[in-house]
């Protein structure tokens, strides 16, 4: 774990994940670099298995007081809860959130 008492600046720690070995995380890494993450952790792990994420654990362990964890997770999929809550159309059906 980083000792935040000896540094004054906030760190941005990035984490990218894809589900399969054939998926590419270039867009996620590009987005984390655009966010100016100081360190980026990445792994290929199924979205179903939330317990075995050693790189996510390392990213969390790297965090100190005031640091930020920036997540980029898998393939971008529309979130029906977000779409329903931000839609301006009254005809948009409510999502089961």
Residues marked as catalytic: 19
In sequence order, the 6+-apart residues with CB closer than 8 A to the CB of 61 are 1
**Whether the Cβ atoms of residue 21 and residue 8 lie closer than 8 Å to each other:** no
Q: Render the burial of 40-65: b for 16+ CB within 10 Å, e for the rest.
A: bbbbebeeeeeeebebbeebeebeee
In sequence order, the 6+-apart residues with CB closer than 8 A to the CB of 93 are 84
């Amino acid at each position: 774990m980083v000792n935040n008492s000896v540094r004054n600046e906030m760190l941005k720690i990035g984490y990218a994940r894809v589900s399969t070995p054939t998926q590419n995380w270039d867009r996620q890494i590009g987005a984390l670099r655009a966010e100016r993450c100081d360190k980026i952790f990445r792994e290929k792990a199924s979205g179903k298995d939330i317990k075995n994420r050693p790189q996510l654990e390392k990213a969390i362990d790297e965090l100190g007081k005031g640091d930020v964890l920036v997540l980029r997770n898998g393939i971008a999929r529309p979130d029906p809860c977000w779409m329903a809550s931000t839609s301006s159309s009254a005809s948009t059906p409510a999502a089961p959130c």
